A = this chain, B = another copy of it.
């Protein structure tokens, strides 16, 4: 169950067997089948979840009831509404499973306890969050300054797995485009080749 998890953590920090055992104890596991929700917008996000298997997406529902995909997470990624998880405020996002998934989940209290008991996990998360910031900064530049086609091409370049694994309408939403626009963008790219 913890294979993907530890292989991921060990890429960033070293852990003794004792530490591994300690860490394991803080997590609970959960299976989610396709279309099931992990989190509903408006509720508190009680867990950070590591994806051992499967694929999930986070999305935000606006006042007009339109879904805006904010993130995808598959094997080796974490997912949660961090804001809600940390502060205990209501989540502004929902999370559901796109494929049948297996998760390792840790609560806010256990997260605190774990980092205090195994301080090197602070380092792991510091590095993890650092990388996440880099990604989000890149997405922000892209979102503010690129054309629809440039946004798509950069995504295809930097994150080909998203293109392969997800339906086009969700990719469009993730890029902040209308599905029709993405369809046309892809057509133009194909025509030019």
* Known A-B contacts A68-B145, A145-B176; A136 and B126 likewise in contact (beta carbons under 8 Å): no
Shortest beta-carbon distance, A60 to chain B, in Å?
Answer: 6
Q: Knowing that A60-B145, A70-B140, A144-B176 are A-B contacts, what are 17 other residue pairs whose CB atoms are under 8 Å apart, sorted by A's residue number?
A: A62-B145, A68-B141, A70-B137, A82-B133, A82-B134, A83-B134, A83-B137, A83-B138, A119-B120, A120-B122, A122-B122, A129-B129, A129-B130, A132-B133, A136-B136, A140-B140, A144-B175
Q: Give the CA-CA distance A83 to B20 in the complex, in Å.
A: 30
Q: Which of A46-79 contact B (CB under 8 A)?
A: 60, 62, 68, 70
Copies of this protein, total: 2
**What are the residues of chain B within 8 A of A86 when measuring CB–CB?**
130, 134
Shortest beta-carbon distance, A141 to chain B, in Å?
Answer: 6
Interface size class of A (residues with CB under 8 A): 20 to 34
Q: Give the CA-CA distance A60 to B138 in the complex, in Å.
A: 11
* Known A-B contacts A122-B119, A136-B136; A60 and B130 likewise in contact (beta carbons under 8 Å): no
